[in-house]
A and B are shown apart, each in its own frame.
Chain A
Amino acid sequence: MNELRELARKLLADGEVRVIIGWESARRGARPMFVTEPDGADGLIFDTRCVHNLVTYLNPRRDHVAELGKIGLVIKGCDAKAVAGLLREAQLTRDDVVLIGVCCGGVLEENELPEAVALTPENVAPRCHGCDNREPTLVDHLLGEPQPEPPRPAVTIEERVAALDAQPLEERWAFWTEQFGKCVRCYACRQVCPLCVCERCVAEKTQPQWIESSPHARGNLSWNITRALHLAGRCVDCGECERFCPVGIPLTLVNRKLQEIVAERFDYKVSEDPENQAPIGGYRLDDEQEFIK
């Protein structure tokens, strides 16, 4: 932690960045922190409560953050994949941001705690299982010691997806109808997503209106399926959409299922390599096309 605070202090004092975006411990647990003065760096923390994917603040459409000036961003390995996504899609220039990587051994599912606690199979964020990027390389500084693998959660996301897949079609339809039925269309899932960077979201287009804005069954299905498909092969599995959903829709299950399909169909896995072109953003002559008859 001292290492992080000292680096942040130095970057600010040297004028290398104008703001460090990291985490602080607040009244309701860890939360994003914006440090603009070297002395403020003492409030920075990194522990198992630091679940937020802060890459969402790099969205070029976030004027109120962009106006602060050059950003130094603290990122975990999973977050680095989101930075790579922005670079890959020309939403960010690498030199515009200083990336401070932290070695991470997993985070908590529930982070609103006054102090950090050690990870257990009961409290670990299920998405951390099988993490392949505990020490990000797409960074300017890497802090901390290499961490052990996160504990295996009682039930993994893959197992939940498989359990759902094993249900008959009618059951799955009933399940998603029930889940999407809860949606109030606040678009928290979109707003917090580090990869939802469209200048104008398709959900906001009215001439013609592609997606009905009413939260009725049809509108909710259109919105949730469109959101999911637009993130196929782009989603970095940070789980922020599900965490921010005020009505508890298990969006991680949709995202993970799509990842599985993308892996199977396109042999593609999201990584922190910006050159690793996503299927949705590229064209390959050897793409599967057996469905064209």
Chain B
Amino acid sequence: MTDATDTGAVAPQRYFISEADLRGLAADLLGAGTEVIAPVTVDACQSPSAMATAACLRPGVAPVDVDYKAIADAAELDLGRDLPGLSLKQLFLPDHEALCRWHQRGLEVTVEEVPITFAPRVVLAAKPCDSAALAVVDEVMNWDYEDELWNGRREATTILNLACPVIDDSCFCTAVGSAPDDVKGADGLLTPVEGGYLAEATTEKGRALIEAHAARFSAADDPATAALVRQAADERAGARRRVAANLEIDAGSVRDWIATHFEDPLLASLAIRCNGCGACSSACPTCHCFDIVDEEEGVGRGTRRRCWDTCQAPTFTLHASGHNPRDDQHVRYRQRINHKFSIYPLKFGEVLCTGCGRCTRVCHAGQDLVEILAAIDIAARRPGEAVAAGAAASEDAEAAS
């Protein structure tokens, strides 16, 4: 394990911080020149391109997007607890980045490094499913090769999560080992309580952040604040109960069933309506596959870049010979499920999914991971029921074979 994940968990210490002080903390950090990233509400109607959004011109409708962005002003920090469209992934694995530049003259090639510095930065009010995803991906980024870009950014970043109220019925973090108040991959947690937030540092980095801005926090470990602590515990327990009602599976059984049922008609039938568009991979906080491309920028010079890639694209596995081992969408979708819920857990002991539900929400063809995991769980634990429930799906698959 590398420094990226070895930040050393510490016993939680509780503090209280008011909303004004939380914004003050953001302002202090910005004032000191630290980059602050947080959920920001983008009111599409305020942009110069408002005419693009039909809804802007409708009475009573204000389309807003929530995204993680570097803020310029503490007032931008959105504490509304909505789910940002894309996850924190792009802050650590950008959708594209230059790795090196090259120049070629005749047979002589010179390679120029791209200088990269990792300036300290703080993420405020991160979603627990997004920070947990970083910890899961740390494993592969430090497996056979230590990814210095990923690790450099992980080390330079301090993350304070904001406990999640649960977004909707596509959330299922508790089914895959996370929780709406998870601190995995983060350095601390904020839980809304009356008048502000209960703050806990869970790593040395988190404690250092709070200690460096101690004036913004007050200790909350004395009897006087017992009510706040109880309130926070209730808030967190309530959210856990709500999300657990969305999906309950045994991730271990799912993992083992997939590993032993590669050719099962159920797996072969899951993607019938899938367009193979890969929007799920872009939105996924744990999908981390990338492609490395050389892009020419004139004669004899260019840049080598790494860009996001997706196993849902046929070109992902297209061999130079023209052969493609994953030559149809059923097989590509099976790979997505297999990698997340079996291959990765068997290799690294972690499910490659934190239950954020983005893949389901962005899929307008109706691929629904909640439904799919429930079906696999039934096949794994109650195979008698699977025969009845999965009959139609299996027939589809038989027709396909």
Question: Which residues of chain B from 264 to 286 have any CB-CB distance to chain A below 8 Å in the complex?
Answer: 271-273, 275-279, 281-283
B53-67 Cβ-contact flags toward A at 8 Å (1 or 0): 110011101000100
Q: Would you call A9 an interface residue if the criterion is a C-beta within 8 Å of the partner chain's C-beta atoms? A: no
Question: A30: which B residues are within 8 A, CB to CB?
Answer: 366
Residue of B nearest to A172 (CB): B49
**B329 x A52 contact (CB < 8 A):** no
Stretch of A144-152, A230-238, A246-254, A263-271 lying at the B interface: A246-254
CA of A97 to CA of B341 in the docked complex: distance in angstroms? 37
Q: Would you call B296 an interface residue if the criterion is a C-beta within 8 Å of the partner chain's C-beta atoms? A: yes
A53-73 Cβ-contact flags toward B at 8 Å (1 or 0): 000100000111101110000
Question: B370: which A residues are within 8 A, CB to CB?
Answer: 27
The 8 Å CB contact of B52, one of A122, A179, A212, is A179
**A188 x B399 contact (CB < 8 A):** no
Stretch of A79-87, A130-138, A153-161, A275-283 lying at the B interface: A153-161
Question: B364: which A residues are within 8 A, CB to CB?
Answer: 52, 192, 240, 243-244
CA of A155 to CA of B371 in the docked complex: distance in angstroms? 37
Measured CB to CB, the closest approach of chain B to A27, in angstroms, equals: 6
Question: Which bracket fits the contact residues of A?
Answer: 35 or more
**A188 x B392 contact (CB < 8 A):** no
Q: A204-B315, A215-B96 are in contact. Are A184 and B308 (CB under 8 A)?
A: yes
**A32 x B295 contact (CB < 8 A):** no
CA of A253 to CA of B401 in the docked complex: distance in angstroms? 42
**A19 x B399 contact (CB < 8 A):** yes
**A28 x B329 contact (CB < 8 A):** no
Q: A184-B308, A250-B52 are in contact. Are A155 and B58 (CB under 8 A)?
A: yes
**A68 x B400 contact (CB < 8 A):** yes
CA of A185 to CA of B312 in the docked complex: distance in angstroms? 13
Measured CB to CB, the closest approach of chain A to B184, in angstroms, equals: 25
CA of A39 to CA of B213 in the docked complex: distance in angstroms? 66
Measured CB to CB, the closest approach of chain A to B370, in angstroms, equals: 7
B341-361 Cβ-contact flags toward A at 8 Å (1 or 0): 000000000000000000010
**B49 x A64 contact (CB < 8 A):** no
Q: A63-B328, A246-B85 are in contact. Are A160 and B51 (CB under 8 A)?
A: yes
Question: Which residues of chain A from 21 to 43 have any CB-CB distance to chain B below 8 Å in the complex?
Answer: 26-34, 36-37, 40
Q: A187-B277, A213-B291 are in contact. Are A18 and B399 (CB under 8 A)?
A: yes
Q: Would you call A13 an interface residue if the criterion is a C-beta within 8 Å of the partner chain's C-beta atoms? A: no
CA of A206 to CA of B362 in the docked complex: distance in angstroms? 29
Question: Which bracket fits the contact residues of B?
Answer: 35 or more
The 8 Å CB contact of B368, one of A28, A185, A243, A248, is A28
Question: Which residues of chain A from 148 to 202 have any CB-CB distance to chain B below 8 Å in the complex?
Answer: 153-155, 157, 160, 163-164, 167, 171, 174-175, 178-179, 184-188, 190-192
Question: Which residues of chain B from 386 to 401 have any CB-CB distance to chain A below 8 Å in the complex?
Answer: 392, 395-396, 399-401
B157-170 Cβ-contact flags toward A at 8 Å (1 or 0): 00000000000011
Measured CB to CB, the closest approach of chain A to B319, in angstroms, equals: 14
Among B85, B273, B328, chain A packs the most CB atoms within 10 A around the CB of B273
Question: B65: which A residues are within 8 A, CB to CB?
Answer: 248
Q: A68-B396, A214-B96 are in contact. Are A175 and B52 (CB under 8 A)?
A: yes
CA of A248 to CA of B344 in the docked complex: distance in angstroms? 31
Q: Would you call B327 an interface residue if the criterion is a C-beta within 8 Å of the partner chain's C-beta atoms? A: yes
Q: Would you call A93 an interface residue if the criterion is a C-beta within 8 Å of the partner chain's C-beta atoms? A: no
Question: B360: which A residues are within 8 A, CB to CB?
Answer: 28
**B399 x A36 contact (CB < 8 A):** yes
**A68 x B54 contact (CB < 8 A):** no
CA of A26 to CA of B365 in the docked complex: distance in angstroms? 11
Q: Would you call B384 an interface residue if the criterion is a C-beta within 8 Å of the partner chain's C-beta atoms? A: no
Q: Would you call B106 an interface residue if the criterion is a C-beta within 8 Å of the partner chain's C-beta atoms? A: no
Measured CB to CB, the closest approach of chain A to B299, in angstroms, equals: 12
Question: A240: which B residues are within 8 A, CB to CB?
Answer: 364
Among B49, B58, B85, B313, chain A packs the most CB atoms within 10 A around the CB of B49
Measured CB to CB, the closest approach of chain A to B81, in angstroms, equals: 21
The 8 Å CB contact of A214, one of B54, B293, B392, is B293
**A37 x B395 contact (CB < 8 A):** yes
Q: Would you call B330 an interface residue if the criterion is a C-beta within 8 Å of the partner chain's C-beta atoms? A: yes
Measured CB to CB, the closest approach of chain A to B322, in angstroms, equals: 11
Q: Would you call B115 an interface residue if the criterion is a C-beta within 8 Å of the partner chain's C-beta atoms? A: no
**A244 x B308 contact (CB < 8 A):** no
CA of A155 to CA of B170 in the docked complex: distance in angstroms? 32
Question: A31: which B residues are within 8 A, CB to CB?
Answer: 273, 365-366
**A34 x B295 contact (CB < 8 A):** no
CA of A3 to CA of B395 in the docked complex: distance in angstroms? 24
**A65 x B368 contact (CB < 8 A):** no
B167-193 Cβ-contact flags toward A at 8 Å (1 or 0): 001100000000000000000000000
The 8 Å CB contact of B307, one of A37, A185, A246, is A185
Measured CB to CB, the closest approach of chain A to B368, in angstroms, equals: 6
Among A28, A240, A248, chain B packs the most CB atoms within 10 A around the CB of A28
A-B contact pairs, 12 of them (CB 8 A): A27-B371, A34-B273, A154-B59, A186-B279, A187-B313, A188-B279, A192-B364, A214-B307, A219-B295, A240-B364, A244-B364, A246-B85
Query: Chain B interface (Cβ within 8 Å of chain A)?
Result: 47-49, 51-54, 57-59, 61, 65, 85-86, 95-96, 169-170, 271-273, 275-279, 281-283, 291, 293, 295-296, 305, 307-308, 310, 313, 315, 327-330, 360, 362, 364-366, 368, 370-371, 392, 395-396, 399-401
The 6 closest A-B pairs by CB, nearest first: A31-B366, A188-B277, A191-B277, A214-B96, A163-B51, A63-B328
Taking A30-B366, A215-B308 as known contacts, 4 extra A-B pairs with beta carbons closer than 8 A to each other, sorted by chain A number, are: A27-B368, A67-B400, A204-B315, A215-B96
Query: Chain A interface (Cβ within 8 Å of chain B)?
Result: 18-19, 26-34, 36-37, 40, 52, 56, 62-65, 67-69, 122, 126, 153-155, 157, 160, 163-164, 167, 171, 174-175, 178-179, 184-188, 190-192, 204, 206, 209, 212-216, 219, 240, 243-248, 250, 253
